[in-house]
Amino acid sequence: MKKYLLIGIGTIGLIYSCATNPMTGKKELNFVSNSELFPSSFQQYGTFLKENKVITGTADAKRVELVGSKIRAAAEKYAIYLGQPQYLNGYQWEYKLVDSKEVNAWCMPGGKIVVYSGILPITKDEAGLATVLGHEVSHALANHGAQRMSASQIEQLGAVGVAVATGGQSAEKQQMWQQYYGIGSQLGVMLPFSRSHESEADKIGLTLMTIAGYNPEDAILFWQRMASQSGGQSQPEFMSTHPSDATRMANLKALIPQAREIAAKVNAIK
């Protein structure tokens, strides 16, 4: 019976057999082109801004725009360093501060960024904000949104595969194998996939903020403040979409020398 579970999960293995992303250097699954994804992203961003209170003209709003522009410039420099000057074609960068108590920020495909005012007490300064914006921009640069969409499609196909493979069994057994497949695909594939995206965004984001002139060690200070804000309450890492606080900070600490080395090379390009 185990083979039925493997049929579905094996299908998701295609995730690791597609084109190489220049920002991560890894194989990625991506069925969605930027020409398809960006217009939808821009439209959704515009709708979001109309439905929420955008803060303008304040010192905080200006800081978001300033740090955002520095991260954008760092991303453009990094793309040139990687030999991919055309990689950011089609991006329409925009940075908005939105009035919300939510401790969050995000970047949609194509460079559309929102920072919620609720995260500012934790970012505290430009370096903390650069940590957040570098991380969120990196999700877009690494095509994580498109990859999640593609992975979801593959997961659905896997469920169909399980249904076909168990079609001759009783309804109870078919339901059982679908449940096994759902749990196995989530814990064994989709959640690790999501955590890998977070780690990739941490790595690229650390590099971007360093290229932009910020001290990468401040990234660790920001995540320490985030960990304190959560009160230490979190799911076990294997059940979460994000790495644990301890894993994240240990990884960032190990990446600091590399981020500084790359930033020095990038900023040496005339």
Exactly one of 28, 94, 126, 136 is catalytic; which is it? 136
- Name every residue whose Cβ is closer than 8 Å to that of residue 79 and which is 6 or more positions away in sequence: 22, 85, 87, 88
Q: In whole angstroms, what is the distance from residue 156 CA to residue 159 CA?
A: 5
**Beta strand 20-21 pairing with 54-55:** unpaired
- For residue 108, give Cα distances in angstroms to 34, 46, 138, 159, 182: 12, 11, 10, 28, 28
155 catalytic? Reply is no
Spatial CA neighbour of 105 closest among 135, 60, 149: 135
Residue 83 CB coordination number (10 Å):
8
Please work out, in degrees rounded to the nearest 5, the angle formed at the alpha carbon of residue 241 by the alpha carbons of 26 and 225. 105
Compute and round to an integer the Cα radius of gyration of the chain: 20
Q: In whole angstroms, what is the distance from residue 206 CA to residue 259 CA?
A: 6
Catalytic residues: 136
